[in-house]
Amino acid sequence: MVQLFAPSDSPPAAPESSEQPIGFVIGRSSPQSFVFVSDEETVPPRLEYVVIHGAREQVDDTFRSVDLLAQVTGIRAEVLTLGEDLDYAEAQTVVSQNATLPPRVQAEATVLGYLQDGVVRQARMMVLPGTPVHTAPDALLRAFFSRDEASSITLGTLINRRGVDVRLDPNGLSRHLAIIAQTGAGKSYLAGKLLEDLLGLGATIVVLDPNSDYVQLRKTQADADRPYHYANKTPHADRISVLRVPGIEGRRYTDEFVGPTEDYTIRFAELDADDIADVAGVPTTASRIRDAITQSVARLRHLNVDFVPRDLAQDLADFAGVPLDEGATSPEESSDQAASGPIEPPDGDDTAASEAWLEGLQALSTDSEPPAGRPQYGGGGMPGSEDADLRRDARNALRYVRRLERYPVWGHTTVNIERLIEPMRTTIIDLAGTEKVVMAYTAEWLLSHLWERALGGRLRWPVFVVLEEAHNLVPGGGPRDQQTKASRIINTVAAEGRKFGVYLIVITQRPSKIADDTLSQCASQLIMRLTNPDDQKAVQRASEVVSQGLLSNLPGLNQGEVVTLGRLTRIPAMVKVSGRQGAEGGADRDLVQDFQAAHREATAQQAFDRGSPSGNLPRSGPKRIPL
């Protein structure tokens, strides 16, 4: 079990010399921990690394002297003449009469282990009382936490030793990685840094980006606010592609800032009828509506039509014998109409509700003739209650299908998967502004295709798939029907992907809301600040190396600080993430700057109003407060 403690706010200066002991082991010690006495001047701060030089250890069959690394997990001071039982007056007397003694300073240390042929071994012997304790020199810490730079991912530096780089072993990603922290802790910043280094090493990466957090990665941090054309570029910018859903209004980063992008569309005709019903939000219980969609899809396929949502809607309208526009209102939007008539859409197979809804539509409809040039299904002319039922189902389905026209992601082509799996390429799929179902569909589409190739031995290079806000893709902790379209394939890849070269990087701020199966398959974890007890418990459930001690100290981490667990580092490290080159997309807004801009605009508007003839007229309504 790992015992780590939260960092102090300001890191101490790195001690370079370990000549003088900073203390001596006292009391009882064990292979896991020891206590040492120190003094006011030399006592190390909490989390400092200390070393026992020449500790006696059994290495294989022989006893040897090793440098045993330990971390200070607690410090305390005590003055004998100022015991806990003194009251205020007594303490004042002792202090005023200079009757205080020098403090007795003690520190507790947790043993981390020693290095043997580049591998960290756990101590099996205790440190004897009287043994001197030294501050661990940077060189020793580098041997524990750094690796060959050319073949590793540099995450940052030790929190309390800024001179010691922490480098991750890329092989630690081969059993999937989870990046977990509460919102704003620095997950996306960290992931960006990780992806930069991974790409530099030669990795193929696809990022599903629901918030445009990664679209600026090609520009340097310093040029985040410059249009792409004028910005300095990061070293591998030409190996990063950004795909965007066309036609999304009001993006946070326009193409001018992001740089060249390609359209991300999904060929609608590739979806099967169930997919269409899912993405349109048809409840799984609404089997009649789903059947209507299935039949409509079959009709279009029979006619060999490469259809988009409008074509499907038209087919349903024609079948139902109603004009297309009767389905223009989405199921949600119709709620205000519902108040004025029986037009609320059915939300299942409730026949009575559906009939009422249909009647409402018929009452409003003046023209139920299908448009010219469209197939005639008999529509309103079909006699018999069964036909009427089918028409009613088609009409109900129309409502759902028409909402799909609002998602600009559906088109006649799907992005070419060959492009995504080129060696040393990062593809950011910017899904900001689309519905969650589109994200789930994209995850399912991508992973299924990768999986199919991997199983067929047609995936030449390992592919990393980054799932941001993964709790929305593989929800857990609720009923099974909470699953998304992507749940099953994500769990399959999580369970078996490592054998076939498909690796997940799962990012979430709500570990308690993600499927346990997925999280527990992520053998490496990067955990940042986390205060919610449910989320802490979920992290502990998912990993046997997470101790209570670590959990209770996660709230003490500052923004950008992370604990590495699993096979990424030889032993868990507490790291200050740094050195990211690419600009952020989702950086916190600077409210002071926003206010200043708003203030400028309001003041300019006020001046303009005063200058204009109408601006001098007395105003009615509330009085303006001068800025």
Ligand X SMILES: Nc1ncnc2c1ncn2[C@@H]1O[C@H](COP(=O)(O)OP(=O)(O)OP(=O)(O)O)[C@@H](O)[C@H]1O
Which stretches of the chain bind ligand X, using CB under 6 A? 181, 183-189, 509, 559-560, 577-578, 584, 586-588
**Token pair of 436, please?**
């969650």
| Cβ distance to ligand X smaller for residue 187 or 498 | 187
Based on the shown chain and the rule CB under 5 A, indicate whether residue 135 belongs to the binding site for Mg ion. no
| Cβ distance to Mg ion smaller for residue 181 or 565 | 181
Identify the sign of the CA torsion 452, 455, 459, 465. Answer: positive
Q: Which of residues 329-368 bind Mg ion (CB under 5 A)?
A: none
CA dihedral 195, 197, 203, 204 (to 10 degrees): 30
State the minimum distance, in angstroms, from the CB of residue 37 to ligand X.
36
Nearest to 511, CA basis, from 480, 545, 534: 534
Dist. CA 463–CA 349, nearest whole Å? 43
Dist. CA 500–CA 458, nearest whole Å? 10
Residue 559 binds which one of Mg ion, ligand X, none, with CB within 5 to 8 A depending on kind?
ligand X
Residue 196 binds which one of ligand X, Mg ion, none, with CB within 5 to 8 A depending on kind?
none
Dist. CA 21–CA 16, nearest whole Å? 13
State the minimum distance, in angstroms, from the CB of residue 58 to ligand X.
41
| Cβ distance to ligand X smaller for residue 189 or 410 | 189
The span of 18-26, 67-75, 180-188, 557-565 binding Mg ion (CB under 5 A) equals 180-188
Beta-carbon contacts of residue 119 (< 8 Å; ≥ 6 apart) = 570
| Cβ distance to Mg ion smaller for residue 138 or 430 | 430
Residue 588 binds which one of ligand X, Mg ion, none, with CB within 5 to 8 A depending on kind?
ligand X
State the minimum distance, in angstroms, from the CB of residue 596 to ligand X.
18
Residue 186 binds which one of ligand X, Mg ion, none, with CB within 5 to 8 A depending on kind?
ligand X
- Residues 270/300, Cβ–Cβ less than 8 Å: no
Dist. CA 208–CA 465, nearest whole Å? 8
Closest residue to Mg ion, judged by C-beta, is 188
State the minimum distance, in angstroms, from the CB of residue 179 to Mg ion.
9
State the minimum distance, in angstroms, from the CB of residue 584 to ligand X.
5
State the minimum distance, in angstroms, from the CB of residue 582 to ligand X.
12
| Cβ distance to ligand X smaller for residue 295 or 524 | 524
**Token pair of 492, please?**
């399959």
Residue 579 binds which one of ligand X, Mg ion, none, with CB within 5 to 8 A depending on kind?
none
Burial class (CB in 10 A: 0-12, 13-18, 19+), 592: exposed
| Cβ distance to Mg ion smaller for residue 131 or 188 | 188
Residue 60 binds which one of ligand X, Mg ion, none, with CB within 5 to 8 A depending on kind?
none
Residue 509 binds which one of ligand X, Mg ion, none, with CB within 5 to 8 A depending on kind?
ligand X
Dist. CA 529–CA 381, nearest whole Å? 65
State the minimum distance, in angstroms, from the CB of residue 567 to Mg ion.
24
DSSP state of 213: S
State the minimum distance, in angstroms, from the CB of residue 407 to ligand X.
23
Q: Which of residues 20-59 bind Mg ion (CB under 5 A)?
A: none
Based on the shown chain and the rule CB under 5 A, indicate whether residue 212 belongs to the binding site for Mg ion. no
Dist. CA 307–CA 298, nearest whole Å? 11
Characterize 257-272 residue by residue with b for buried, 16 or more Cβ atoms within 10 angstroms of its Cβ, and e for exposed.
bbbebeebbbebbebe
| Cβ distance to Mg ion smaller for residue 187 or 219 | 187
Characterize 402-441 residue by residue with b for buried, 16 or more Cβ atoms within 10 angstroms of its Cβ, and e for exposed.
bbbbebbbbbeeebeeeebbeeebbbbbbbbbbbebbbbb
State the minimum distance, in angstroms, from the CB of residue 585 to ligand X.
9
**Token pair of 556, please?**
């003490």
Residue 487 binds which one of ligand X, Mg ion, none, with CB within 5 to 8 A depending on kind?
none
**Token pair of 501, please?**
């070269």
Residue 582 binds which one of Mg ion, ligand X, none, with CB within 5 to 8 A depending on kind?
none
Residue 49, helix vs strand vs coil: strand
Nearest to 468, CA basis, from 214, 106, 247, 147: 214
Residue 577 binds which one of Mg ion, ligand X, none, with CB within 5 to 8 A depending on kind?
ligand X
| Cβ distance to ligand X smaller for residue 193 or 402 | 193
CA distances from 47 to 44, 71, 112, 261 (A): 8, 6, 12, 46
> How many residues belong to the site for Mg ion (CB under 5 A)?
2
202: left (phi over 0), alpha (psi -120 to 50) or beta: left
Based on the shown chain and the rule CB under 5 A, indicate whether residue 188 belongs to the binding site for Mg ion. yes
State the minimum distance, in angstroms, from the CB of residue 443 to ligand X.
17
- Residues 411/266, Cβ–Cβ less than 8 Å: yes
Amino acid at 400: Y
DSSP state of 558: P
- Within 10 A of 82 (CB to CB), how many other CB atoms are there? 15
State the minimum distance, in angstroms, from the CB of residue 317 to ligand X.
42
| Cβ distance to ligand X smaller for residue 587 or 602 | 587
The span of 20-28, 186-194, 342-350, 419-427 binding Mg ion (CB under 5 A) equals 186-194
| Cβ distance to ligand X smaller for residue 318 or 430 | 430
State the minimum distance, in angstroms, from the CB of residue 474 to Mg ion.
17
Residue 35 binds which one of Mg ion, ligand X, none, with CB within 5 to 8 A depending on kind?
none
Q: Which of residues 527-586 bind Mg ion (CB under 5 A)?
A: none
Nearest to 464, CA basis, from 404, 505, 520, 514: 505
| Cβ distance to ligand X smaller for residue 85 or 588 | 588
Dist. CA 514–CA 173, nearest whole Å? 20
| Cβ distance to ligand X smaller for residue 146 or 509 | 509
Amino acid at 214: Y
**Token pair of 175, please?**
């059993």
State the minimum distance, in angstroms, from the CB of residue 125 to Mg ion.
45
Dist. CA 593–CA 591, nearest whole Å? 5
Residue 201 binds which one of ligand X, Mg ion, none, with CB within 5 to 8 A depending on kind?
none
268: left (phi over 0), alpha (psi -120 to 50) or beta: alpha
| Cβ distance to ligand X smaller for residue 314 or 508 | 508
State the minimum distance, in angstroms, from the CB of residue 557 to Mg ion.
16
| Cβ distance to ligand X smaller for residue 109 or 155 | 155
Residue 185 binds which one of ligand X, Mg ion, none, with CB within 5 to 8 A depending on kind?
ligand X
**Token pair of 386, please?**
């069964």
Contacts with Mg ion by CB under 5 A lie at 187-188
